[in-house]
A and B are shown apart, each in its own frame.
Chain A
Amino acid sequence: MIRFVYAFIAIVVIAPAAWAEIKIKEVTSAGGITAWLVEEPSIPFVALELRFKGGTSLDLPGKRGATNLMVGLLEEGTGDLDAQGFARASEELAAQFGYDSHSDAVSISARMLTENRAEAVELLRRSLVAPSFPQTALDRVREQVLSGIRSDLKDPEQIAGARLAELVYGDHPYGTPGEGTLESVAALTREDIAAAHKGALAKDRLFVGVVGDITEEELGPMLDALLGDLPETGAPLPGPADVAITGGIDVVDYDTPQSVALWAQNGIDRNDPDFFPAYVLNTILGGGGFESRLMTEVREKRGLTYGVYSYLVLRDLANVYMGSVSSANDRVAQSVSVVKDEWARMANEGATAEEVDKAKALLTGAYPLRFDGNGAIAQIMVSMQMDGMPIDYIATRNDKVNAVTPEDIARVAGELLDSDALQFVIVGQPEGL
């Protein structure tokens, strides 16, 4: 067999643009609620994604965990339905509702059959607008949250994440886990939960994505029926986090055979003109899966880990550049050393033209693969709205990736990367650190 592969390694333009076929319409209901819609009538269901900006960062002082617990209680009772009654009602409709929260948003994901959509929308509405937060449900779900917190306190990855957040974000809500502490969650009352609900689920912070078997004409009334009764305004959002990373290695002693290492340095904003060079840079350094430099040096050449990654963390109120690796206690020092060397090499030398081309091919080719299903597309559309992107962003995004040059990478690497300023947190019993 001839070496056919080289012909394909030469960089390819991924021809048929999958995203060109995704036709997003902006729909505004009579009641003034805006949604992005993709009509996809081929399967008789609709995927709905709602996000309320703010999330667990809205927790008031002393009430850490209130938003998280509140979201866990939305499906635990409304009106004459208790937790089991609500679950039975959604099972009868075969509707699937997911309620979740993180540091920047409360998110609601729903899948509803066309055949009973009106009833499913009404059930979902009741859970969002009129949850009853019964005390028995509060006590039961609180125990589940506390159980999760106790587990996190003994999980090396969670310990590392919490310690790094504390070092990086300090007193900002990002500095502590959104689930709260054993003490703060134990003290939460029904009034705290009701207040968290009122503050978090409001129209002034709502973003909606809808994909599936529904028309523009049907969507407006559905949005008003589902969301029209929410309050107009909610609690004020916190200000930006004051990220101050000076560098160093912080070891948390924990008796476990493999050390978990996380690291962080200052990041870059999505709206920064250098964001796309930084994004391509990260793909080359540690974001590109098996092809990244970190994976090649730490795993493929040295066998020091199963996985090593770096990632640009883009949050609403802070940007950091992070990474992670896990190695046996007697080998993790070597992994950390290789990571720092690669960080410095990229800062000093940038990347080759071939590396840049490969990363661009990976990023531009992988982009359409994200749009794989109604629910995924609904989520992407909501994220785009939250990030303030234009409705035609999908069609232009790959051009921004392709415009990045090796010179851009070299310049941005020099400005952004600082191997001496990396803050490491290592949980385990690392030798030689």
Chain B
Amino acid sequence: MLRRMVLAVAVSVGMSAPLKAADDLVTTYELENGMQVVVVEDHRAPVVMHMVWYKAGSADEQPGVSGIAHFLEHLMFKGTDTMESGEFSSTVAANGGRDNAFTSYDVTAYHQRVASDRLELMMRMESDRMVNLRIGEEEILTEREVIIEERNQRVENNPGALFREQLTAAQYLNHRYGIPVIGWRHEMEALDMDDALSFYETYYAPNNAILIVAGDVEPEDVKALADQYYGVIPANPDLPPRLRPSEPPQSSARRMVFYDARVAQPYVTRSYLAPERNSGDQRKAAALTLLAELLGGGQTSVLSQKLQFETKQSVYAGSWYRGTSLDATTFNLIMVPAPGIGMQEAEDAMDAAVAEFMAEGVDAAHLDRLKMQLRASQVYERDSVESVANRYGRGLTSGLTIADIQEWPEILQSITSEDIMAAAEEVFDLRTSVTGWLMTEEQEVSQ
């Protein structure tokens, strides 16, 4: 089957335009103050996405102020020296655009989608709030209520989210990935102006930021505007290196049972500490990326085949791995038991399926299909410059270089079955794992 695919690709290249990967549309450069710029061209519609990514996320916070990175993200929509509170978003809206922002462990990013002739206005405003933020005491108090309601909505009202918080906290013994991005509630309730400004003044600077512009723009025009608005902001000479507390050797498997009356569907999940993509050293992460797909990436995956189709012990079984991360990440398994299957039985079945995979090895045809899909994803991705922009933003804020990001598809294609099995042997170490059962007390009684 693979041979036919290869032939088909060759024929298509011969007959029509050569297959261009999305990265061919990417131009990158650096401003004199150290701000990195990535331009992704797509001239199909006169629209542009303007984004600034700061290399600062919740894992860069100081102890005791969890949630401050995210709280600051909210406060960035208040005023500056020259703009009223709320004026940023209302200006974007008055210009027919949409704006928003997000915070994660390693990054805080701000973005606007507008007609491409509004790019200069976006740069003026975004560069302004990089250094001129002004927040009122009243605003701190009101917005703090908003983030607590956000936590209520995303976490407190959702037993699965509460469970994941506990699992992650147990996974990391020392690293701040163990603390939720939105913050622990008791610390959120005490966040104040000084906490917000301290984070802002430390991390919001051009030499800690990446500008990404994607859409109907010319790279040289973006360069001129970026020089004018971002290039004039001085670098922060005191920007601290991104050295977070690192994990000690993990030598004891952790287990937990989380009970909540609101749980409808119990499940078993396990995470293992896993290496992430590192600059110049991405092969192990590439092997784990393919492993996650082979083992639990969908209908034809090993876990699905064994547990849903063969033994029918599972309603859903899967695995996932997020390799784009500044520090050590996790490899994850999930098993949702079918009715009548107890939690221990479910966990044992999941373990047995993984053990069988370790004995049987990689199905070569399956790996070929995955690689075909990865090649195709480069074609499909050209339909969405935003996903290209996000890929660069995530990579560059996770310690990777432009070259690392561009080499990644080829590295994935070069991974062998042996590489995948070696990575699996290494990652499936129970001593670095956390196993959790999510259930209600009635479910326990009924077993």
Chain A residues with a Cβ under 8 A of chain B = 1-5, 8-9, 11-12, 14-16, 18, 21, 40, 42-45, 47, 83-84, 87-88, 91-92, 94, 96, 111, 113-116, 140, 143-144, 147, 150-156, 255-258, 260, 288-291, 296, 299-307, 326-328, 358, 361-362, 364-369, 371-375
B262 and A5: CB pair below 8 A?
no
List B400-441 residues whose CB lies under 8 Å from chain A: none
A367 CB contacts on chain B under 8 angstroms: 96
Report which of B90, B339, B386 forms a contact with A143, defined as CB distance below 8 A.
Answer: B339
B142 and A300: CB pair below 8 A?
yes
In the bound complex, what is the Cα–Cα distance between A4 and B127 (angstroms)?
14
Question: Smallest distance from the beta carbon of B362 to chain A beta carbons, Å?
Answer: 15
Count of chain B residues with Cβ under 8 Å from any Cβ of A?
Answer: 82
B305 CB contacts on chain A under 8 angstroms: 84
In the bound complex, what is the Cα–Cα distance between A1 and B121 (angstroms)?
14
Interface membership of chain B positions 261-278, coded 1 if the CB is closer than 8 angstroms to chain A and 0 otherwise: 111110000000000000
Question: Smallest distance from the beta carbon of B237 to chain A beta carbons, Å?
Answer: 23
Q: Is the CB of B193 closer than 8 A to any CB of chain A?
A: no
Q: Which residue on chain B has the smallest CB distance to residue A398?
A: B96
Can you name 20 A-B residue pairings with CB atoms under 8 Å?
A: A1-B81, A5-B125, A8-B91, A8-B121, A14-B96, A14-B115, A42-B44, A44-B17, A87-B300, A140-B308, A151-B265, A154-B264, A290-B90, A303-B142, A303-B146, A304-B145, A366-B98, A368-B46, A369-B113, A371-B45
A288 CB contacts on chain B under 8 angstroms: 93
A8 and B95: CB pair below 8 A?
yes
A143 CB contacts on chain B under 8 angstroms: 315, 338-339
Q: Which 5 A-B residue pairings sit nearest by Cβ, starting from the closest? A: A365-B96, A303-B145, A94-B376, A258-B152, A115-B12
A84 and B309: CB pair below 8 A?
yes
In the bound complex, what is the Cα–Cα distance between A114 and B299 (angstroms)?
25
B142 and A366: CB pair below 8 A?
no
List B249-300 residues whose CB lies under 8 Å from chain A: 261-265, 298-300
In the bound complex, what is the Cα–Cα distance between A116 and B370 (angstroms)?
16
Report which of A42, A147, A362 forms a contact with B93, defined as CB distance below 8 A.
Answer: A362
Interface membership of chain B positions 289-326, coded 1 if the CB is closer than 8 angstroms to chain A and 0 otherwise: 00000000011100001001100100110000000000
A256 CB contacts on chain B under 8 angstroms: 156-157, 262
Q: How many A-B residue pairs have CB under 8 A?
A: 213
A113 CB contacts on chain B under 8 angstroms: 376, 379
A44 and B87: CB pair below 8 A?
no
Task: Name the residue among A9, A21, A91, A140 with the largest chain B CB count within 10 angstroms.
Answer: A91
Tell me whether A115 and B9 are in contact in the complex, defined as CB-CB below 8 angstroms, given that A45-B383, A369-B113 are known contacts: yes
Q: Is the CB of B234 closer than 8 A to any CB of chain A?
A: no
A301 CB contacts on chain B under 8 angstroms: 142
Q: Which residue on chain B has the smallest CB distance to residue A140?
A: B308
A44 and B19: CB pair below 8 A?
yes
Q: Is the CB of B201 closer than 8 A to any CB of chain A?
A: no
A255-B262, A358-B93 are known; give 15 further A-B pairs, CB within 8 A.
A9-B94, A18-B45, A43-B383, A87-B299, A88-B300, A92-B369, A257-B156, A258-B152, A258-B156, A288-B93, A301-B142, A305-B146, A306-B146, A326-B149, A362-B94
In the bound complex, what is the Cα–Cα distance between A222 and B96 (angstroms)?
38
A291 and B45: CB pair below 8 A?
no
A4 and B93: CB pair below 8 A?
no
Q: Is the CB of B164 closer than 8 A to any CB of chain A?
A: no
Tell me whether A303 and B8 are in contact in the complex, defined as CB-CB below 8 angstroms, given that A18-B115, A154-B264, A366-B96 are known contacts: no
B299 and A365: CB pair below 8 A?
no
Report which of B98, B157, B369 forms a contact with A289, defined as CB distance below 8 A.
Answer: B98
In the bound complex, what is the Cα–Cα distance between A374 and B90 (angstroms)?
30
Tell me whether A368 and B149 are in contact in the complex, defined as CB-CB below 8 angstroms, given that A21-B45, A258-B157 are known contacts: no
Question: Smallest distance from the beta carbon of B185 to chain A beta carbons, Å?
Answer: 10
In the bound complex, what is the Cα–Cα distance between A289 and B97 (angstroms)?
11
In the bound complex, what is the Cα–Cα distance between A372 and B1 (angstroms)?
34
A290 and B1: CB pair below 8 A?
no
Tell me whether A140 and B45 are in contact in the complex, defined as CB-CB below 8 angstroms, given that A91-B372, A115-B8, A361-B94 are known contacts: no
Q: Which residue on chain A has the smallest CB distance to residue B12?
A: A115
A373 and B384: CB pair below 8 A?
yes
Q: Is the CB of B30 closer than 8 A to any CB of chain A?
A: no
Q: Is the CB of B11 closer than 8 A to any CB of chain A?
A: yes
A255 CB contacts on chain B under 8 angstroms: 261-262
B8 CB contacts on chain A under 8 angstroms: 115-116
Q: Which residue on chain B has the smallest CB distance to residue A21?
A: B45
Task: Name the residue among A3, A21, A288, A362 with the largest chain B CB count within 10 angstroms.
Answer: A362
In the bound complex, what is the Cα–Cα distance between A300 and B144 (angstroms)?
11
Question: Smallest distance from the beta carbon of B323 to chain A beta carbons, Å?
Answer: 21
B264 CB contacts on chain A under 8 angstroms: 147, 150-155
Question: Smallest distance from the beta carbon of A398 to chain B beta carbons, Å?
Answer: 10
A16 and B299: CB pair below 8 A?
no
B157 and A156: CB pair below 8 A?
yes
B82 and A88: CB pair below 8 A?
no
Q: Is the CB of B153 closer than 8 A to any CB of chain A?
A: yes
B81 CB contacts on chain A under 8 angstroms: 1
Tell me whether A147 and B369 are in contact in the complex, defined as CB-CB below 8 angstroms, given that A45-B383, A361-B94 are known contacts: no
Interface membership of chain B positions 103-137, coded 1 if the CB is closer than 8 angstroms to chain A and 0 otherwise: 00000000001111100010011001000100000
Q: Is the CB of B375 closer than 8 A to any CB of chain A?
A: yes
In the bound complex, what is the Cα–Cα distance between A358 and B308 (angstroms)?
53
A1 and B95: CB pair below 8 A?
no
A44 and B379: CB pair below 8 A?
yes
Q: Is the CB of B77 closer than 8 A to any CB of chain A?
A: yes
Report which of B46, B90, B143, B309 forms a contact with A16, defined as CB distance below 8 A.
Answer: B46
Question: Smallest distance from the beta carbon of A284 to chain B beta carbons, Å?
Answer: 11
In the bound complex, what is the Cα–Cα distance between A288 and B99 (angstroms)?
12
Tell me whether A12 and B95 are in contact in the complex, defined as CB-CB below 8 angstroms, given that A45-B379, A87-B299, A113-B376 are known contacts: yes
Tell me whether A289 and B384 are in contact in the complex, defined as CB-CB below 8 angstroms, given that A257-B152, A366-B98 are known contacts: no
Question: Smallest distance from the beta carbon of B72 to chain A beta carbons, Å?
Answer: 16
B376 and A114: CB pair below 8 A?
no
Task: Name the residue among B11, B141, B150, B376 with the largest chain A CB count within 10 angstroms.
Answer: B376
In the bound complex, what is the Cα–Cα distance between A3 and B152 (angstroms)?
38
Q: Which residue on chain B has the smallest CB distance to residue A258?
A: B152
Q: Is the CB of B29 closer than 8 A to any CB of chain A?
A: no
In the bound complex, what is the Cα–Cα distance between A301 and B141 (angstroms)?
10
Report which of B91, B262, B316 forms a contact with A154, defined as CB distance below 8 A.
Answer: B262
B87 and A5: CB pair below 8 A?
yes
Q: Is the CB of B83 closer than 8 A to any CB of chain A?
A: yes
Question: Smallest distance from the beta carbon of A320 to chain B beta carbons, Å?
Answer: 24
In the bound complex, what is the Cα–Cα distance between A386 and B445 (angstroms)?
51
A40 and B44: CB pair below 8 A?
yes
A5 and B86: CB pair below 8 A?
no
A150 and B379: CB pair below 8 A?
no
Question: Smallest distance from the beta carbon of B385 to chain A beta carbons, Å?
Answer: 8
A154 CB contacts on chain B under 8 angstroms: 262-264
Q: Which residue on chain A has the smallest CB distance to residue B316?
A: A144
Interface membership of chain B positions 166-201, coded 1 if the CB is closer than 8 angstroms to chain A and 0 otherwise: 000000000000000000000000000000000000
Question: Smallest distance from the beta carbon of B306 to chain A beta carbons, Å?
Answer: 12
Report which of B149, B309, B315, B386 forms a contact with A327, defined as CB distance below 8 A.
Answer: B149
Tell me whether A44 and B16 are in contact in the complex, defined as CB-CB below 8 angstroms, given that A1-B128, A5-B125, A257-B157 are known contacts: yes
Q: Is the CB of B336 closer than 8 A to any CB of chain A?
A: yes
A91 CB contacts on chain B under 8 angstroms: 300, 369-370, 372-373
B299 and A84: CB pair below 8 A?
yes
Q: Is the CB of B89 closer than 8 A to any CB of chain A?
A: yes
B312 CB contacts on chain A under 8 angstroms: 140
B375 CB contacts on chain A under 8 angstroms: 94
Question: Smallest distance from the beta carbon of B168 to chain A beta carbons, Å?
Answer: 21
Q: Which residue on chain B has the smallest CB distance to residue A211?
A: B383
A306 and B153: CB pair below 8 A?
yes
Tell me whether A369 and B82 are in contact in the complex, defined as CB-CB below 8 angstroms, given that A44-B379, A87-B300, A300-B142 are known contacts: no
Task: Name the residue among B45, B143, B369 with the largest chain A CB count within 10 angstroms.
Answer: B45
